[in-house]
Structure formats: C-alpha cells, structure tokens
Amino acid sequence: MTGEETAPALDPEAAPAARAADGDRPDPGDGALDLVVAGAGGGLAGALRAAEAGLNVLVVDPDEQFLRGNNTSMSTAMIPGAGSRWQREEGVEDSPARFVRDIEAKTHGTADPGLAAALARLSAPLVEWLADGAGLPLQLVRDFSYPGHSADRLHTVEGRHGASLLRHLHGRARRSSRVDLLVPARLVDVEVPAAGGRVTGAVVEYPSGHRETIPTRAVLLATNGYGAERDLVARHLPEIATADYHGGQFSRGDGLAIGLRHGAVGAFMDAYQGHAALARRSRTLVGWATIMHGAIMVDSSGERFGDETTGYSEYAAALAARPGARGWIVLDGRIHGLCTPFTDFRQTAEAGALVWADDADSLAKATGLPAGALARSLEEPAALAGGATAPGGGSPGADRFGRTFFEAPLRAPYAAVEVVPALFHTQGGLAVDGDARVLGPGGAPLPGLYASGGAAHGISGHGAAGYLAGNGLLPALGLAWQAANHLAASR
C-alpha cells in the first residue's frame, strides 16, 4: 500500500461511475441499501461479490484518484492461494494447513490462529473467484519465491502491479447494475440506534463538509490502516516512525476510529509492513525480487549488515537503524533481466535510479561508497555461490549472517540503486472474526459492521518481522469477499 506514486496515469475513460455533490448520491430505490463499502480498494471485491449475490451496494471513497492513490493500487498484486487450481496444474503441493504453518513460522506463533486459519482456507476459493467471478487474469508466480512461503502460492496479474488489478475490479463494478460509487465522499460514522443494535446507516461527509446519513443494513470498513496519520504511527510504531510513508494519503485510521467509537476492540496495533527497497531518487519500489535472485544490500559504509532474504518488511527497520538510514542494493545484468516482469522495477530503471559500472572500483566511485568495503561485500557471495563457507558461516554456501547463495554470483557490470526504508501500511486494526465481523469486548460481533484489509487486524503477528508477501492483499480482498458472503447468507 502518496506523493511517490508508481502506478500508471489514471485512464480518463475509467472515471468513477458516480461523482459526489452534496445530496447527489445514487438512490437505492427502496430506501435502504444492503451494503455500504467504505474504500474503493480491496473493498471492491466485497462490492462485486455482494452484487453477484443480488445485494445492492454503494462504495464511497474520499480520494478522486483512488485508482492510483490507494494501497491496493500501489501493491505488487500478489495474492496467496493455498491449494488453487493453478498450483494443481503445475504440480505445486500446497494446502491451507501448510500456509498456516508458514504463517506460524514467520510470526513465531504470534498471529491470530483463528483468522490465519480462516484466511488460509478461503485463499484458494478467493483467487479462483477473482478469476471466474471477477474475470481477473491471474497467473501463478513460479520464477522466484518470497521469504517465508514454503510453496509457490502467490498469484498475480501481468505486470505484477496493483494498479492493473484495481482498474480491472473497478471496471467490473462500473458495469454492475447493483454497484454504485460515490466519490469523493468520506465515511465518518455509522448509525447504530441502540447499544448493541444493528447498523442502520452510513454517515458520509462531502468535501464541502455537508454530511448525510445513508440507510443501509450493513457497512464494510475497507478504509485501510493508519499509516498516513503520523501521530498514530509514532505512538504504535516508533521504530519506523521517521521512515518514508509510501501508502495512500487517506489511510488515516478512519475505520479504526469508527469501530472503536461503537465499542469495537483493536488488536495487533504494533504490526506493520515495512519495505527496505524504496528507491531514494525516484521514490519507486525496487522490489525484493532483486534480493531473492542474488542481489545484496550494503549500508553507507559499503558493508552488508544481515541476511537480506529474511524479509523486506523487517529489513526496513534494520535499514532505518543504519547510519543515515540509507543503503544500496547491488545487482547485475542477470538480475536486472529477471526483474523486468515487475512494473515497479521497470519504472525504477526507466527513472534513471540505477547506477551502472564496469567493476567494483568504478561502482564505488559512482556511488560514493568506500571501495575496499564494497569490494569485500561483492566478493563474499561470489565465493559462497560455489559452495564455500564463509568464516563464521554455518552450512556450505552460508555467509556469516546465515544467508545462502544458490544462484549465480554477481558479475560485472554491476548496477546499484540507493534505497531508503519505508512504511507501506499498518497491519493492526479492529478485531474481526473469519467472516470479517467486527468484534467487541468478549468477542461478540457488532451486528452489521464488517472490516477488511488494514482496517481490520491482520495475520502478521506483532511488529514487522511476521509479514509474508500477500499479507496485505489477502485480508483486503479476502475479508471483503467473505463479508459479502456472510451478509448474503444472513438475509
């Protein structure tokens, strides 16, 4: 999941289906909608599923540029699906139980086990519905593996960019007779006539400040987290509070505030997704595929400072702790070619953020890094790729940090890109169950109130180290989809 947008320009033909003017909203016809979705990102999956089930839906969003301005559009469009038909077709052995074990391992057992199991179970049905019900052209990622996933279970679209995914979902929503969009309009509250009662209305605010209550029998809070609210970030995520924020400008914790106001409880508020590969010059995402294909990261002294393959999220805090909170990812032509399927990486290269050099000394001069230290940092993985063990290393091929190098060593000419740590989105929010129902004290659901994505608590445990690729989009799309399933079944 700013001012550093990486998505393509907004297609003028893909403008929202409805524009908000005070009092100018779609008429639900019978006086009450079935569902109001707050947030036109992953929440669109819930809107489309609800419409498919015969429900009337209104989607509201405060951002006129939501097609390129929210965290779904800024993602790499990686959606886990444990046991999907794409995996079966390619002989990949996987299951929800295996996915849960990976979540438990990455989070050291701190993730919510009930929500993890629920999301793992729905992950394959979700990606198959996205393809069959929403027409999304998905493919299984097989060319590299993200840290923490023991099976190839990530599904994505061509270009591997969330902007393509979101434009597709939005196009489907525009063509649905049961889905209307109200943009720009911000959900500021829900109407609940009595304590413990069911939601009966959604209170929206227009840019003029005028407010209106829209009758509805349910509200889905798909407003993302609180990454753009710096005071909340400083309070809950001090280790990453000074890093760049690379997410939607309207991720201000609106859904969290609304839920808490009506008796919900928050959970895992210290969880977040960081990223250690935001190009300083272009403010585009370099991508961790570079690392997984064999690139290294050095700090301003030219030295490596850990096992980069542990994960891009936790490595953001590690980079933030280095002198100047800056580093360099060093790659070569082979890795450059392998990463071109990623739109983000191509945009980084096209922006001129990569510095090329014919040898280590030239690269040191081009980057301003100490030549001796940089040369040593490049020599170590080259030796380890042949099966040697570095001093202080463990198994053959492992360096002193425990990283193993199985792919080809880095070879000149080299490329380097200066990177800074970033906060992408928060992973703590309103406590929810496996049907995305917002929970109050004691675990009782608040009738008619659902939450998904960053507005809900996630499955990354605490801090940043538990984040697995897809832990953002799976709750964003999956919980929204499941909320619609639950609402439809409860008619």
Q: How is the chain split into domains, by residue range?
A: 12-271+427-489, 273-423
Neighbouring C-alpha atoms within 13 Å toward the C-beta of 407: 18
Closest CA to 118 of 489, 432, 429: 432
Determine the pLDDT at residue 9: 28
Neighbours of 6 (CB within 10 A): 24
Containing 186, the helix (H) or strand (E) segment is: strand 186-191
What's the whole-model pTM score?
A: 0.90
Are 204 and 33 spatial neighbours (Cβ–Cβ below 8 Å)? no
Determine the pLDDT at residue 145: 86
Are 315 and 278 spatial neighbours (Cβ–Cβ below 8 Å)? no
Determine the pLDDT at residue 382: 78
Across the chain, which distance is largest between two alpha carbons, in Å? 74
Determine the pLDDT at residue 402: 85
- Spatial neighbors of 149 by CB under 8 A, at least 6 apart, are 80, 102, 468, 469
Predicted confidence pLDDT, tens digits, the chain (491 residues): 332 223 322 232 333 344 444 444 444 445 689 999 999 999 999 999 999 999 999 999 999 999 998 999 999 999 999 999 999 999 999 999 999 999 999 999 999 999 999 999 999 999 999 999 999 999 999 988 889 999 999 999 999 999 999 999 999 999 999 999 999 999 999 999 987 789 999 999 999 999 999 999 999 999 999 999 999 999 999 999 999 999 999 999 999 999 999 999 999 999 999 999 999 999 999 999 999 999 999 999 999 999 999 999 999 999 999 999 999 999 999 999 999 999 999 999 999 999 999 999 999 999 999 999 999 999 888 777 655 555 555 565 688 888 886 667 899 999 999 999 999 999 999 999 999 999 999 999 999 999 999 999 999 999 999 999 999 999 999 999 999 999 999 98
DSSP string, 401-451: TS-B--SPPP-SSEEEEEEEEEEEEE--EE-B-TT-EEE-GGG-EEEEEEE
Q: What's the angle, vertex CA 210, arms to CA 205 and CA 214, rounded to 5?
A: 55
Determine the pLDDT at residue 16: 39
- Quote the crossing angle between the two packed helices 113-132 and 96-107, to the nearest 10°: 130
Distance between terminal CA atoms of the chain? 33
Helices (H) and strands (E) in the chain, counts: 17, 20
Closest CA to 186 of 20, 70, 31, 45: 20
Strand partners, 211: 205
| Residue 170 tokens, joined | 């939005």
- CATH annotation of 273-423: 3.90.700.10
Determine the pLDDT at residue 408: 79
* Cα 232 from Cα 14, distance rounded (Å): 34
CATH fold, domain 12-271+427-489, is FAD/NAD(P)-binding domain (3.50.50)
3-state secondary structure (DSSP) of residue 60 = strand
- Spatial neighbors of 418 by CB under 8 A, at least 6 apart, are 279, 280, 281, 326, 327, 328, 353, 367
Determine the pLDDT at residue 385: 65
Are 152 and 87 spatial neighbours (Cβ–Cβ below 8 Å)? yes
Tell me the one-letter amino acid at 357: A
